[in-house]
Amino acid sequence: MGTKTKNGKKALHRDKRKALNALIMANFQCEADCGKKLFKRKYSNKNYTEVHHLVPTKYYNDFEFSLDIEENLVSLCSHCHNLLQHGDTSIETLKKLYDKRKNLLELCGINITFDELIKMYK
């Protein structure tokens, strides 16, 4: 698992190709199915969505396998991404994403319960 140092802290190296693959696999839609109106990217006809690591990368040392994989990357509208990153986390949104990805994560060796995931967001 590749790491880099940023501001004196060790962090997981993120692969931009995997992030783009995740957006493509989600067809540039918000995987939280929030119903918010999406807008088009400035220089593309694709919807603007952002990549989010469902299992946060700051916990990469807790797992044997990389967290920077398409199965752990979700496509979100900016509202849902900010909600999960900076807001009072919506348990409903997190549960919806977890249920969609749980089996894929397990196939990749990332075994996590929903309760464990909630604790990572608090």
Share in percent of the chain as helix, strand, coil (round to 5) = 45, 15, 40
Whole-number pLDDT of residue 13: 73
Whole-number pLDDT of residue 1: 45
Alpha carbon distances (Å) from 31 to 1, 80, 83: 26, 9, 14
Query: Which 3 state secondary structure label does DSSP give 50?
Result: strand
| pTM higher than the cut 0.75 | yes
- The model's pLDDT over 60-70, given as tens digits with 9 standing for 90+, comes to 999 999 999 99
**Residue ranges in the chain whose pLDDT is less than 50:** 1
